[in-house]
Structure 1
Amino acid sequence: MSGDVSPDPGRIRLLVAVGTDKHPFDRLVDWLREWHGEVADAVVLTVQHGHTRAAGLPDAAPFLGHAELQAAMAAADLVVCHGGPATILEARRHGHLPIVVPRDPARGEHVDDHQLLFARRLGAAGLVALCESRRELLDALAAGLCDRSRFTVTVDADAADGRRAAVRRVGVIVEDLVAAAAQRPHQPWWRPWRGPGPDGRRNR
């Protein structure tokens, strides 16, 4: 990646983040590759593509370090991402209403359907712009090119306590979804590791 986050007058800066899951997300990247070929003069595209092929896309990298991702989020006008809770929270923290295309396990994009269920909950609450089809994604991108303010949210930079509460709420939603899908006891994913418990098993 170029690492250049300076503004480019007249062009929309679009960040695409598919996360780090081992499953490829060819569907999203292929949609964006086709779309970008039609709007390349109007868009500066940055793509974090993970284990997905990204041939033909400019400024593409499989993974971004934390600082790089923060810089890309801060510089972007629009953010398109998978349905990962951490990515969605980071996008909103940087003032974006993320355009979310959740991974679909029926297409080999994830191990289960918790991204679909989670993204649908957030979409119904107006916390993300949910896109489950190519047409929905293209419509959202067209709207963003016309008026990027439609995909911004107000951020209180001092609301650290509120952010921690939001992370906890997201953790509860995700663990409930995963537990419902697996139908088995589970440990909340957001609890810090506290060492072995009385039975010698690891607690998180």
Structure 2
Amino acid sequence: MKLLAFLKVVRAPPTLSKITGPLQCRLFQPDFVPRDPKAKPKRYKYPAFYDPYGPKPPPSDKIIQLAERIAALPPEELKQIGPTLRDKLRHPKMEPISTEGMDLGPQAGAAGGSAKSEEKKAEKTAFDVKLEKFDAAAKIKVIKEVRAFTNLGLKEAKDLVEKAPVLLKQGVTKEEANDIIEKLKTAGGVAVME
């Protein structure tokens, strides 16, 4: 008996009265009219350029006269307009963005190869310290010095020293690099600054 009642509920077709609320399909809404399949789709005209702020009013006569006066200035005075306006309007100064270290592709390398290399040599502030060699008798002293200026353990410092020539420290100032080189020299090693 229960099985028959269940089958009647499952097989019963949905009626329009049962489909209401948010589940109601557009086809069953009373005001829905299907589109004529033979009708052409509507063509919308897009503006030539997108202006998110909409149409602007034309500039006033005072602004037009000011623009004409600015355009008539000599080139020396035209260069002074930007900084003067920035100071008067209290706009922040735009700082140039450094592209050093960025890969800008082949166009950047071909433009100023030798000039950039000369600038980098002239303004180098970070140096690397490289251990070239050391005396076998002074190996323990060199390992102690390496541990002093690097935060390595005994085994790591020993392995690093045994790999000589090897970079010991990167990106240090010139004074710090000279200090490290002197300490290694007194311990019995030969280090260079790159």
Q: TM-score normalised by the shorter chain: which range applies?
A: under 0.3
Which structure would you say has the larger Rg?
2
**How does the TM-score come out when normalised to structure 2?**
0.19
Richer in helix (by share)? 2
Which structure's relative contact order is higher, taking Cα pairs within 8 Å and 6+ residues apart?
A: 2
